[in-house]
């Protein structure tokens, strides 16, 4: 599996904004679609975000570090179950397995 970074993907800005803006994280948790509407996401990029398809995002060129950050933002960043759930969902997606649930955006 080879992934090539594409700096033009809008998801990079989305993830950085979610990391640094608590109000945006709260809004993303309440109305993800409204937040996604504000970013110039490609159709396939948005679909992959909505489906939590990290494999597709990495194939498109998502930066490897930011994929892990995004998983933690969606599935939880607290110690214990939240962090484990994030890692498990990311690995399942990358290895072609099902990603259950939508996560809980922070």
List pLDDT tens digits, range 53-79.
Answer: 999 999 999 998 999 899 888 887 654
* Predicted TM-score of the model (pTM): 0.81
CB 58 within 8 A of CB 5: no
Check whether 100 has a pLDDT greater than 60: no
Write out the H or E segment, with its range, that includes residue 88: helix 81-94
Domain ranges of the chain: 11-94
Give per-residue burial for 53-80: e unless 16+ CB within 10 Å, then b: bbbbbbbbbbbeebbebbbbbbbbeeee
Token code pair at residue 97: 């397995």
**What integer pLDDT is reported at residue 106 of this predicted model?**
41
């Amino acid at each position: 599996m080879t992934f090539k970074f594409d700096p033009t993907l809008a998801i990079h800005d989305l993830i950085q904004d979610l990391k640094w803006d608590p109000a945006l994280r709260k809004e993303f948790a309440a109305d993800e679609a409204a937040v996604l509407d504000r970013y110039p996401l490609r159709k396939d990029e948005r679909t992959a975000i909505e489906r939590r398809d990290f494999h597709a995002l990495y194939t498109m060129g998502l930066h490897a570090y930011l994929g892990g950050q995004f998983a933690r933002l969606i599935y939880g960043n607290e110690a214990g179950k939240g962090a484990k759930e994030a890692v498990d969902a990311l690995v399942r997606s990358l290895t072609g397995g099902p990603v259950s649930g939508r996560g809980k955006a922070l």
